[in-house]
């Protein structure tokens, strides 16, 4: 019984850390993976560096964004911040 009383604060601390830090990070990672998996040609996107563009094409690791009529830039897919609706 004393062991349970001694370990209770540690168990509570681990549970609080899980619900405040680990679980939200896992949910955000899942959203990012779904966004990257749903990427389509013609999508308006913003990169983590703030570059706005239209998806010209993409492969497993890279995406090619058209930023104006003349420029197509190559980015890693992990640089995708959001798809603009």
| pLDDT score of 63 more than 90 | yes
Of the candidates 81, 8, 2, 84, the one whose C-alpha atom is nearest the C-alpha of residue 47 is 81
For 4-59, the pLDDT digits (tens) are: 888 999 999 999 999 899 999 999 999 988 998 899 999 999 999 999 999 999 99
Distance CA 74, CA 55 (A): 10
User: Is residue 82 within 8 Å of residue 35, measured between CB atoms?
Assistant: yes
- For residue 73 the two structure tokens come to 């830039």
pLDDT reported for residue 53: 95
The residues spanned by each domain of the chain are 1-38, 40-84
pLDDT reported for residue 3: 86
Confidence of residue 67 (pLDDT cuts 50, 70, 90): very high
Q: Does domain 40-84 have CATH number 2.30.30.100?
A: yes
């Amino acid at each position: 019984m004393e062991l349970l009383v001694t370990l209770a604060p540690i168990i509570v601390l681990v549970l609080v850390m899980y619900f405040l830090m680990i679980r939200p990070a896992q949910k955000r990672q899942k959203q990012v993976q779904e966004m990257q998996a749903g990427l389509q040609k013609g999508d308006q996107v913003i990169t983590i560096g703030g570059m706005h563009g239209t998806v010209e094409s993409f492969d497993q690791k890279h995406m090619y964004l058209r930023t104006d009529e003349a420029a197509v830039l190559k980015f890693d897919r992990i640089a995708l911040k959001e798809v603009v609706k």
